[in-house]
Chain A
Amino acid sequence: DAGVTQSPTHLIKTRGQQVTLRCSPKSGHDTVSWYQQALGQGPQFIFQYYEEEERQRGNFPDRFSGHQFPNYSSELNVNALLLGDSALYLCASSLEDRFVEQYFGPGTRLTVT
């Protein structure tokens, strides 16, 4: 049973650039959530996608956007990168009828220089 996968594992970008992170949900799951985990902190909710639409959003600026594809995979895009965007970005998947029970991928470590 394939778990949640994310790519790439690590990424280094320069301030002002744009980045795209990818996530494939656990087999059978249809809902994808994204979280940002800064060093030494707990994960913070960015947004959640279901049926290719953003269902809920946390307190993140519009520079953070996402997409969900018909196969339930998802992308997180961040524009105009800031140094403060350096973090571990975690994708979690769940079933729509129990979307709060979330299973996490290994994360993408983004470093902005």
Chain B
Amino acid sequence: AQSVTQPDIHITVSEGASLELRCNYSYGATPYLFWYVQSPGQGLQLLLKYFSGDTLVQGIKGFEAEFKRSQSSFNLRKPSVHWSDAAEYFCAVGAEDYGGSQGNLIFGKGTKLSVKP
């Protein structure tokens, strides 16, 4: 069955420190991978996406993620965290398989990021 695992429910980092949020997926077909960010009470904003090609993808707000097929992982990183990065982060996997109509996204349960001053 398709699934996304975000092992860390809550992470706290100091402002200016580096960040890595983990994501592992299980998907039989070639996956498309996404990271979204959600501020309290808000919708989801797309941070970055991986479809093919270079396995290191750059996103908005200084975030990047690396796709590692051998580890079924797509971890999100940022070299220096700002207080405004405090939010919840969701990893998602999807596939465009018209035969199987796999048009939906499957989300992890999210990682809440807190930033210490």
Contacts and interface: CB of A to CB of B under 8 A. Distances in A.
Contact of B103 (A56, A103, A104, A105): A56
A100 B45 CA distance: 15
A33 B41 contact: no
A46 to B, nearest CB: 9
Contacts of B102: 56, 100
B109 interface: yes
Interface residues of B, number: 26
B20 to A, nearest CB: 19
B95 interface: yes
B96 A58 contact: no
Contacts of A48: 103-104
Interface of A: 4, 6, 31, 33, 35, 40-45, 48, 55-56, 58, 90, 92, 98-107, 109
Contacts of B94: 100, 102
7 contacts: A40-B109, A42-B108, A90-B44, A99-B103, A101-B32, A101-B34, A104-B44
Given A42-B90, A43-B90, A102 B41 contact: no
B105 A45 contact: yes
Contact of A56 (B4, B32, B101, B108): B101
Interface in B91-107: 92, 94-96, 101-107
B42 interface: yes
A64 to B, nearest CB: 14
